[in-house]
Structure formats: C-alpha cells, structure tokens
Structure 1
Amino acid sequence: MEGRKASESFIIMNELVLPNDTNTFGNLMGGRLMYWMDIAASMAAARHCNFPCMTASVDNLSFKNAIKLGNVVHIEAKITRAFNTSMEIHLKVWGEDMLHQYRYESNEAYFTFVALDPTGKPRSVPPVITETEQEKQLFDGALRRRQLRLILGGKMKPDDANELKALFIKE
C-alpha cells in the first residue's frame, strides 16, 4: 500500500461558541469540545485512508484555557502515524476572542481511529510519509504513545513495551 503525506490529512475546523454550548460559567462545555474534536479527527483519519473510520481512543484531554461564550474555536487535526489498521491523530485547539482580537491556546490531544471495511471490520491503512521536522517528531513519539495506550487499556504488558521502556531504563 502506497504511503500518504501527513499534510494531506490536515483539517481546520472552526465553531462559534453559542449559549447552548456553554456551562453555567459561560465557558464552552468540555463534552461539546470533545464532540467537535472527534469530528475533526474523524475527517483527518478518513482523508488519510479514504475509508470510514471510528474512534478507538482519546488520550489525555486537559484544558489550558477556557473558551468563552461568543469566542471562536479553532481546531487543527492531522495524522501523525498509521499502524496496521489504526491511525493516531494530533489535535490542537485555540480560542479566539473576536472582540479583543487575540487567540489563545486551549487544548491539545491525540485521538486514535480505526479504518473499517464494508462489513465493519478493521482494514489496513496506508503508512504516513513525514516531511517536516515537527511531523517527524510526532511520528517518532507515536509508537511510545501507542504502547502507553495499549498498556492502560490492558492490551499490552508493560514488559513488552520496549520503546516506552527505553525512556526510563538505560542498559
């Protein structure tokens, strides 16, 4: 299967935070942001492999800055690495205060998607071709993040996570 450039999966999604999207503090609800991030990640994954995809996991999602009512949410998503049937997508989120004309960082996360065949079974995906230094760094770290996800999900024993262990154990 021929590889595809990471840049070809790049998605930008924008949403306006309306009253129905906020909590009692006037901040964007975390669940609504996750919903929008899931959509952006899904589009990036599908753009990479040209198959329907579904969410397999979401890594740590921490909130650096709240996004307020009336602000614009900017979500960028791009694939970092493809494994056999799964793909890791990196997402960055900014808020933009249009009234005061400034942007601020809000969130960053990694989502994992699995490509599906017409019967709903996982199918192979093309490898990722990196071009920039940042793409290469994200690609290199993806295997360690995958091993951590598999350990936390009970699908891998810590002793089998050689890439991850290499960060902590010097031989």
Structure 2
Amino acid sequence: MEAKPTSVSRTIMTEIIFPLDTNYHGTVFGGKIMEYVDKISTIASMRHCRFPVVTASSDSLDFLAPVLLGEAIQLEAFVSWTHRSSMEVYVRVEAENLLTGEKRTTATSYLTFVALGSDGRPTAVPGVIPETDREKRLYESAPARYEARKIRKASRELESY
C-alpha cells in the first residue's frame, strides 16, 4: 500500500459561534469543540484511508484560550502518523475576531482512528508522508505518543478487573 502525503487528509472547517453554542461565560462550550474535533478528525482519517473509520481514542484535547460569542472558529485536521490499521489525527483549533482579524490558537488535539474493512474488522491503512516542518515534527514524535497510548490502554484494562 502506497503512503500518502499529509495534504491528502488535510481538512479545514469553519464555523461562527452563536449564542446557543456558548455557556454562561459567553464562551463556546467545551463539548461543542469536542464535537467539531471528532467530526473533522473522522473526515481527515477517511480521506487518508478511504475506508469507514471508528474513533479509538481521544488522547488529548488541550484548551489554550476561550472562543467568544460571535467569533469564527477554524479547525484544521490531518493524519500525522499511521500504524497497521490505526491513524493518529492532529487537530488545531483557531479563533478569529471577525471585526479585528485577530487570530489565536485556542485548542489542539490528538485522536486515533481505526479503519474498518468490508467485514467490519480493522484493515491496513497507508503510511503518511509529512510535507511541512510542523508535519515532520509531529510524525517524528508520534511513535512516543503511540507507546504512551498503549501503556494507558493497558493500565485501563487492568483497572476494569
């Protein structure tokens, strides 16, 4: 299976934050950001592998700054690394004040998706070819995150007994 450039999976989503999207602080609900992150990650991972996918883990969602009522929110997602049937997806969330043009990173996230074959079981996915310096850094640091996920999953399995 031939590896694919990161640009194949790159997905951009832009929304405006309305009153129903906000909490009593006038900032977007964290759960709304989580919804957007999961949706865009699903699209990016399916663009990469061209199979149905399921979310295997949400490794992190780090909120760095609030998103305010009336601001635009832009999410960028791409597959940063793969392993047999799994794909790590990196998501960056940016807010924009539409009146001033000021932009700021408000959240970052790593999720893992698994591709499913026609039998509903995990299936092999193509590798990733990072193209930019940022993508290369994420790609090079991905095996450490993969190992951390394995350790975390194993410890959770032990907790359930």
TM-score norm. by structure 1 comes to 0.87
Which residue of structure 1 lines up, in the alignment, with residue 100 of structure 2? 100
How far does residue 128 in structure 1 lie from its aligned partner after superposition? 0.9
Give the match for residue 54 of structure 1. 54
2:43 counterpart of 1:72: no
Return the alpha-carbon distance in structure 1 between the equivalents of residues 94 and 132 of structure 2.
Answer: 22
Structure 2 counterpart of 1:89, one-letter code: V
Could you give the per-residue CA deviations for residues 56-106 of structure 1, whole angstroms, max 9, x where no partner exists? 111221211100111111000011111000000111011111123211110
CA distance in 1 between partners of 2:130 and 2:42 (Å): 20
1:150 aligns with 2:153: no
Aligned-pair identity in percent equals 38
- SS at structure 2 position matched to 1:68: coil
Residue pair 2:60, 2:111 contacting (<8 A) in 1 also: no
Match of residue 86 from structure 1: 86
* Partners of 1:20 and 1:51 in 2: CA distance: 34
Q: How many residues align?
A: 156
C-alpha root-mean-square deviation of aligned residues, in Å? 1.4
Instruction: Between 140-149 and 117-126, report the one with greater CA deviation.
Output: 117-126
Match of 1:114 in 2: 114
For 1:129 and 1:155, locate their aligned partners in 2 and report how far apart those are by CA, in whole Å. 32
Partner residue of 1:166? none
Deviation track 1:141-163 (CA, whole Å, cap 9, x = no partner) reads: 1110011011111179xxxxxxx
* Higher fraction of strand: 2
Q: Which amino acid aligns with 2:19?
A: P
Structure-1 separation of matches of 2:122 and 2:27: 37
Structure 1, unaligned runs of 5 or more: 157-171
d(CA) in 1 for partners of 2:67 and 2:101?
14
Distance in 2 (CA, whole Å) between partners of 1:67 and 1:129 is 32
1:127 is matched with 127
Q: TM-score, normalization: structure 2?
A: 0.92
